[in-house]
Structure 1
């Protein structure tokens, strides 16, 4: 990963404090495969191809709109091979996990177990939280809690947390972290600001929400996720893996290039222990399951209307590549000529990136996985490629 990418705290892919995708520029770019009930979508085929041309190892894309559902892929499943990424392949969704965590938390609110503006200190007394921190602040990233993956300030100052990049992360990529350990690390550092006094994206907020869900439900987080979201929506290819480092088949491989003692190295990081991200970024899914989930959420199948309204209220200081942040998701305006807004929560986890978009009614969706290879500069092209893709799908351009 280049210094410029580290210094921007992974703003290209979801600002989760996790490593942005490095990428590969393949000698022979595979022609995208596609299926759409016999209907070709050349503009979508071109969009997928352009991500690979920009240097990413592979991409799988799924779009559902008024013309039906389309899936396609381009690039390779594994470096050195010729097989394309499977369009039903599993991948690590990174910070897209935060949206699931937020939904699960707000379901507890819907059940009356806690309020959005209820302080959390009394529910998790073992940590000694500031009594001003509320559920809403955790969901919106206004708690001020130190990000356990490190804090990066505009003046270039860095306050490190646990290793999440470079040879330090590579050496510990199978290490197991407990959620309580991550929270205590955060609390051992000065807060970024007083509760409610600012906005800063902190992975620790979602880890605390995980522990809160477990306290309120009386169940392990993965069990409550399965009971409340995965089973009702039949998301059979989605899981919260905890410390499991495996990957269900089929999948495309992901790679991580890094510098060690001045030398560039690339390793296959398909298998890694995601417990360092916990409920902020550990989940595995498919484009189909993400499509089903996000459409169900936006169309009101998982939360009552009043909580969906709260989820879409954004903070004025939260602007990023993906729009403005609300309670666990972004709201984005694509500009002139693009009707309305779109909702999203993208993510990345060393080697993988996920895209998850929907219109507010859940009727039009875009979900995708992008895998990295052994070239370090393709991520710099990501914002432009993403903008073209979004306008192709949601603006008809």
Structure 2
């Protein structure tokens, strides 16, 4: 899932008294990093502007710096684990897209294959929607999230452990009008990635999760990364995540660390670490996972002037160095992971929002600092 935070900030303005640490705890691991003070300040700015806890790993020219700020659990002084796990949200999409493009490279499917070829009768206009359009969010397939209760409604909390099938969510989505004609406009759709997950299953006979494991997680030795399916727990050291939920006349932060991630599926179920995501993005952008012509396809925007290609997005920095990666919003967790094309610099940031404000500007400033120095 992606960009839920701005909606939730508005919804959470009526929060009752919430225990927010008066002074952020901070610690860092550092290897020959002269600017660790500036990076730590940037991380502290995030927790001062709308996060309970945050962590970062920066890799620059072979040097690694890790930092943390805030607390790992509301109402405590428990320190954020520097190598803790978190829900990575829509960064999952970049893994799914990589698998799809590997299947294209192997000749099992084509970017211009129609959805109808692989999933007959599943979506309206499936005979005109291509795999490419699902990847770059120009398919016109509506987002299933619009059909579901969302925080701070109590109904959302009631469904937190419900198991959703991909087809159930897809069927809910297609009851809504299309956002555009296929290929017409960019409109972010988690449903598109559920469809891609089903196509991977149809092509390979294995789930998208298993294909990600065997093609990416295992070869890159991403030991902290997993696709939990319907398991609600985050195993190992981690931050706790919270959501605003309306309870009577009040809106309070509720511990949402444990929830059934089938709600997000191929669009956002992954759990990972800052180190694993940096390793993955460096391998992807550096050409280890895809041949150059398909990596170029991944970096081609779906609409003119856009900055989102096939499961990959990019942005500029103040020092003129573009970075490639993705960001993710998994409701109670947010993450950003980017790499320079030459693989010399990577940065991954994760946080648990507290919905007092929007930390996006502070995150963007820290991303820029990590890349540009």
* TM-score in terms of structure 1 length: 0.87
1:65 to 53, 60, 64: 60
1:378 to 347, 357, 370: 357
Partner of 2:345: 364
1:83 to 78, 82, 88: 78
1:254 to 225, 228, 241: 241
Partner of 2:261: 274
What is the CA-CA distance between 1:342 and the residue it aligns to? Answer: 1.0
Further displaced range: 338-347 or 310-319: 310-319
2:191 counterpart SS class:
helix
What is the CA-CA distance between 1:83 and the residue it aligns to? Answer: 2.1
What is the CA-CA distance between 1:282 and the residue it aligns to? Answer: 0.9
Partner of 2:114: 119
Distance 2:10 2:62 in 1: 33
What is the CA-CA distance between 1:188 and the residue it aligns to? Answer: 2.3
Partner of 2:151: 165
Distance 1:325 1:21 in 2: 28
The 8 Å contact of residues 32 and 63 in structure 2, kept in 1 or not, is answered as no
Aligned residues: 366
Quickly say closer, same or farther: Cα 1:223–1:121, change in 2 above 3 A: same
Q: Deviations over 1:252-287 (max 9, x none)?
A: 111112223431122111101111111111110011
Q: Deviations over 1:16-43 (max 9, x none)?
A: x999997977333234211123645111
Distance 1:211 1:258 in 2: 32
The 8 Å contact of residues 51 and 352 in structure 2, kept in 1 or not, is answered as yes
Partner of 2:366: 389
1:122 counterpart SS class:
helix
1:94 counterpart SS class:
coil
List gaps (5 residues or longer) in structure 1: 1-8, 151-160
Further displaced range: 34-43 or 275-284: 34-43
Q: Post-superposition, which runs of at least 4 consecutive aligned residues in structure 1 deviate over 4 A?
A: 9-13, 17-25
Distance 1:209 1:391 in 2: 32
1:339 to 320, 323, 327: 320
1:134 and 2:130 matched: yes
Q: Deviations over 1:107-151 (max 9, x none)?
A: 11111111111112111114154201001000000100011011x
Partner of 2:202: 215
Partner of 1:109: 104
Distance 1:180 1:318 in 2: 33
Further displaced range: 387-396 or 218-227: 387-396
List gaps (5 residues or longer) in structure 2: none
2:188 counterpart SS class:
coil
1:267 counterpart SS class:
strand
Partner of 1:224: 211
The 8 Å contact of residues 4 and 329 in structure 2, kept in 1 or not, is answered as no
Distance 1:19 1:107 in 2: 38
1:271 counterpart SS class:
coil
Matches within 5 A, 1:240-319: 240-316=227-303, 319=306
Distance 1:95 1:170 in 2: 21
Quickly say closer, same or farther: Cα 1:218–1:12, change in 2 above 3 A: closer
The 8 Å contact of residues 25 and 57 in structure 1, kept in 2 or not, is answered as no
What is the CA-CA distance between 1:237 and the residue it aligns to? Answer: 1.2
What is the CA-CA distance between 1:367 and the residue it aligns to? Answer: 0.5
* TM-score in terms of structure 2 length: 0.92
